[in-house]
Structure 1
Amino acid sequence: MANNPSGPDAYSASAGDFRDFGDPGDPGDFGPDAFDDADADDYAAADIKEALGLPDSLPPIRLPSLPELAAQARKAPLPGQLAALAAWIGEDGRAVTDDGDLTRADFAAATSALGVQAADLVFLWEYALAVEWLEFDGAAEDRVMPGETAQSWAADQDETVFDAWSATLAAVLGETLEVTLPEPGLQGLDFQGQPMALAILLFLARREGLSVADFTEILWENSSADLPEREAARARERWVARYGEPARLLLDKLTELAAVRESDDTVRLTPLALAALHEQLVEAGIDIPLLPPTAAELTGAQLLAMAEGVDDDEFEAEADAWVAARGADHGARELLALAAAGGPGERMLAVAAVTRIGAGAGQAWRDNLDVPQLRAYAKAALAGLADGEDVPAGLQPLPADVAWVTTDLLALACDEEYPDPEEIAASLREAVPAGQEAAVFEMMWRAPHPDVLDVLNHIGRYHPDKQVAKAARTAAHKAAGRPAPGGR
């Protein structure tokens, strides 16, 4: 690894090193022990999926076309600087020291030629060597030459530019926090692999993003996981005093690469980074469907599936465009058919999209008043369309309607893998007036909702209020003893 005399020492780390991942179900679960005994050169793409405990499939994603991605990559400052460094090295190459560094004179000349600070050149040098913007010439390794990535960038074809950009992303994630050799007493901090883990977490959280505070705390928590709490706090304080905040450094370098953007203190991946990580995760064996370029080309199922990967405003815009392309009545009927066949999440998304259609969905709602999964929602929608008049006869909600909608709402908070008592309590407060929990549970167990037993059991097991939990368990016991539909 290069040791530039004008900059800090650096670790020898592969830019493609995917060490130290844990379970991504909770941001704090990106643990440091997944690959401790493995050699970095032995890692395969599939290791990402196994080590992070990623599912077999993730929500679909829409990505820009390759020409659009390449155009964005060409505007990123960091690859331009790396290309300039490779051009400065020249086809004849430059001699390096025994440690593989530029000489002092060449280092000073390079900073001047590139118009960068000495500290910035240290990072550029490490990125360049990590992913073959530069490469050593021959067995002697006493000279560096422009490498394959520099040639790909210079070829200026959309595919080669995107490939070079993706390689640079790997370098930034793999090298940025490894270039500073910790002083004695800080060796317990281990940042290796954590930037890539955070990038995958940002991909998973692409709808909400991560706050800068969460991004920072996750990085510190996992890099100091092997240290006692007090020792970790002291190491963090000393590190920041000497080297600065590592999360800020990483975010700044990713911003220079056009891989992340920050807005309202929230970090999100750019389309470039989403495309590069999508490619890598697909290679790891994870199914992440690509959506058609326009809303008009989506199926109804694709429209609902994309909701998990976009924010509310984006989903509403997609849904509106999708309905406009199909016509109000046709679009409403397709979405309501999916709502009836789907689970609570899909049903509530579809209902929300159809409700936005307004009067144009009126006949579709009326035709679904006898569908058990939709009756409660149809009544509410049609009552809303009455526009302040008295609710027409037959649209008043019955106890079974209240029970169905309540079960749908609560089912969304029932996560068996990562149960959260506070989330369950909050969802119940939102769905049921305080003091009426037992009465609503009594209505729920009588309703034919397929998820009611699971929901009641979940509340009974995890709700923090003992009385509420007991009432849910009582109702669950009654639901379990109820004859199944059809007498089964």
Structure 2
Amino acid sequence: MSDERPTLPPVRLHPEAELARDALSAPLFARAAKLARWAEREVPVGVGGDLLEEQLAEAAVHLDLAVDEDGTGYAAEAWQLAVDTGLVEIEEHAGEDEDLPDGAPSGTATPGEELRLLTAGSPQDVLAIWLGGMETVLADAAAPDLGDLVEQIAEGGELDLDSIDWNPEDEAELLDGILGNLYMLCALAEAPEQSVPLPALAASMIVPADMDEPTDDILEEVSEAMMRLDDQFRVLEPIGLVAYQPVDEALIEELDEDGETVRSAGPLEDEDVSRYGMVRLTPLGMYAVRARMLDAGVEAPAVGDLAGKGADVLLGALPDYPETLAQAESEQWLAARDGLSAARDLLSAARGDDDRAPQRRLACQQTLSLVGPEAEPALREVLDDRQLGGLARVWLAEHGATGIPEPSQDMIFWLTVDTLAAQLGTADEDAAELRDLVEGLVGQHTGFFDAVWRVDHPATADVLEAMGRLHPDKKAAKEARKAAFKARSKKDN
């Protein structure tokens, strides 16, 4: 039986057809496709497939962009993406090795085979092309800012590559780490549209987990990382990977040529945290980052992954899923099976005395609640089973079945210990809901602790110790601790 725990929280991905539509509507990708169709006119290009000055201006006009530095810049980015993804094919002219005058064409661009797949292919075809383009954009985002070098050259200086503190492998690894952390935070978010503050994302990569108060040096690193991330997310947003609210320009210090502050950043109020940047992965971004992590060998579960797996794998995984995703996973698993055989498989997989067994039985009970009356024979078959008889009676009662035999006191208390053990394995012990459960159980049964310590369950002592920590009444808590001692002594003997 699999006891492996997922390394990342599960996610619910959008359908591939919907993701493909998102890809086609991403601004940069849409522009690339539009220019690829424009290339039906056979566009003359320079070395490497770059658009010549005249054609670049025409491309900007075709994209309804202004023919200025920004407009032609956007057009050049879209054209490069079209070339990189195969939406455009470049045919070099004969004699390409000969010296050509500046501005002379060295080849011709025409629509590539990939362009046809955008309209005639499957959603998987569209997503494969988009993923290829995304990798190009990620490489651009990890590239250094060459602005200083351009200024050096413009001023007649020498090209000094050593002045750039940049290692391509380190930068790519850092960006992967940022996207991985963002994936984790988005997966754990309470709402799909919930964004992550840029300072929190930067801190997640820099501030050590065991550091209570970040030092000034650490805070400076976080600030520098934020500015780098601001640049990178501005690059990644047009391809549809992230939804990004940039850092408010009014909060960025302006420095003179000597590095002295000429305008300080504005003060930050608690309610203004969004001014420091907010980011989240789009549904397309969640799909893309997960695909990259799977390629890297990282376990990144998604709802539906377990539909073809056995009941043991399902019950082993569900305790680590948030409630809504656990139900969605169970529904997909059940949809592929008939109710009666599914119930029998679930009940069989729920047995066991290992540490995770109580959580499997709780997951089994929750999954069986989604099965209709056709599963009744399977539940009646286990009424005398010490581990399953209690949950079987609960299911039968909830489904209005008749002729349910009364459980013994031993079975009632065994089920109580098992249920608490499962809850303690999945919940925060400080949760009010769990404290209320403990208090309610003790209040319902006279002599509760005297009965429970005798229960032959592997987790009895641990459950009683937890009840001693959780029960708000000091006298009851003390009784629980005494009962735990008795249970542990009984087990040792």
Match of 1:228 among 182, 202, 217: 217
Larger Rg: 2
Corresponding residue of 2:297: 285
Residue of structure 2 equivalent to 1:45: none
| Residue 253 in structure 1 maps to residue 238 in structure 2 | yes
Note the alpha carbon deviations across 1:420-479, whole angstroms, 9 max, x for none.
Answer: xxx321164254228969x9787766444445566678899x9899x8999887766555
Cα distance in 2 for partners of 1:433, 1:214 equals: 37
Name the counterpart of 2:311: 300
For the residues of structure 1 that align with 2:50 and 2:364, how far apart are their CA atoms? 59
Kept in 2, the 8 Å contact 1:456–1:475? The answer is yes
Task: Tell me what 1:93 maps to.
Answer: 45
Residue 255 of structure 2: aligned partner: none
Distance 1:476 1:152 in 2: 71
Select which of 103, 115, 121 maps to 1:154. Answer: 115
Please give the alpha-carbon distance, in whole angstroms, between the structure 2 residues aligned to 1:68 and 1:392. 50
Quickly say closer, same or farther: Cα 1:151–1:395, change in 2 above 3 A.
farther
Residues 313-355 of structure 1: CA distance to partner in whole angstroms, max 9, x if unpaired?
5654664565466443333222222222463433222211212
1:196 paired with 2:176, answer yes
TM-score (norm 1): 0.57
SS in 2 for 1:405: helix
In structure 2, do the counterparts of structure 1 residues 165 and 112 end up closer, same or farther at CA, with 3 Å as the change threshold?
same
Q: 2:252 is matched with which residue?
A: none
- Secondary structure of 1:175's counterpart equals helix
Are 2:133 and 1:168 equivalent residues in the alignment?
yes
| Distance of aligned partners of 1:124 and 1:410 in 2 relative to their CA distance in 1, 3 Å threshold | farther
Counterpart residue number, 2:350: 339
Please state how far the C-alpha of 1:406 moved relative to its aligned partner: 0.6
Number of residue pairs matched? 402
**CA distance in 1 between partners of 2:467 and 2:147 (Å):** 48
CA deviation profile, 1:343-397 (whole Å, cap 9, x unmatched): 343322221121233544444333323333333323333343458x999633777
With over 3 angstroms needed to count, the CA separation of the structure-2 counterparts of 1:111 and 1:126, relative to structure 1, is: closer
Aligned counterparts of 1:266 and 1:447: Cα–Cα separation in 2:
51
The Cα of 1:227 is off from its aligned counterpart by 6.0
- Mean Cα deviation higher: 56-65 or 77-86: 56-65
Partners of 1:376 and 1:405 within 8 A in 2:
no
Residue number in structure 1 paired with 2:435: 429
* Deviates most, 151-160 or 340-349: 151-160
Counterpart-to-counterpart distance in 1, 2:358 and 2:56: 61
Verify the 8 A CA contact 2:350 2:361 in the aligned structure 1: yes
Backbone CA RMSD of aligned residues: 6.0
Q: How does 1:239-278 map to 2 (within 5 A)?
A: 249=234, 252-253=237-238, 256=240, 267=280, 270=283, 273=285, 276-278=288-290
Alpha-carbon distance in structure 2 between the residues aligned to 1:167 and 1:464? 56
Residue ranges of structure 2 left out of the alignment (5+ in a row): 149-164, 208-214, 246-277
Shift of 1:128: 6.6
The within-5 A match list for 1:55-454 is 73-85=23-35, 92-94=44-46, 109-116=58-65, 119=70, 122=73, 125=76, 132-133=84-85, 151=112, 153-154=114-115, 156=117, 161-176=126-141, 195-201=175-181, 208-209=188-189, 212-214=194-196, 216-222=198-204, 225=207, 228=217, 231=220, 249=234, 252-253=237-238, 256=240, 267=280, 270=283, 273=285, 276-286=288-298, 299-301=310-312, 303-304=314-315, 307=318, 312=323, 316=327, 319-320=330-331, 323=334, 326-341=337-352, 343-357=357-371, 359-385=373-399, 393-394=406-407, 398-413=412-427, 423-426=428-431, 428-433=434-439, 446-451=454-459
Maintained 8 Å contact 1:411/1:455:
no
* Partner Cα distance (1:305, 1:211) in 2: 29
Which ranges in structure 1 are unaligned for 5 or more consecutive residues? 1-53, 414-422
Identical counterparts, % of pairs: 23
Query: What does the per-residue CA deviation read over 1:154-208, in whole Å, with 9 as the maximum and x for residues that have no partner?
Result: 362657644331122223444347676799xxx99x9865553344346557764
Contact 2:44 2:51 in 1 (8 A): no
- Could you tell me the TM-score, scaled by structure 2's length? 0.56
For 2:293, give the aligned amino acid: L
| In structure 2, distance between residues paired with 1:339 and 1:449 | 15
Given that residues 56 and 286 in structure 1 are in contact (C-alpha distance below 8 angstroms), is that contact kept between their aligned partners in structure 2?
A: no
Flag the 1:60–1:73 CA change in 2: closer, same or farther, 3 A.
same
- Pick closer, same or farther for the CA change 1:245–1:289 going to 2, 3 Å: closer
Distance 1:369 1:392, change over 3 A: closer
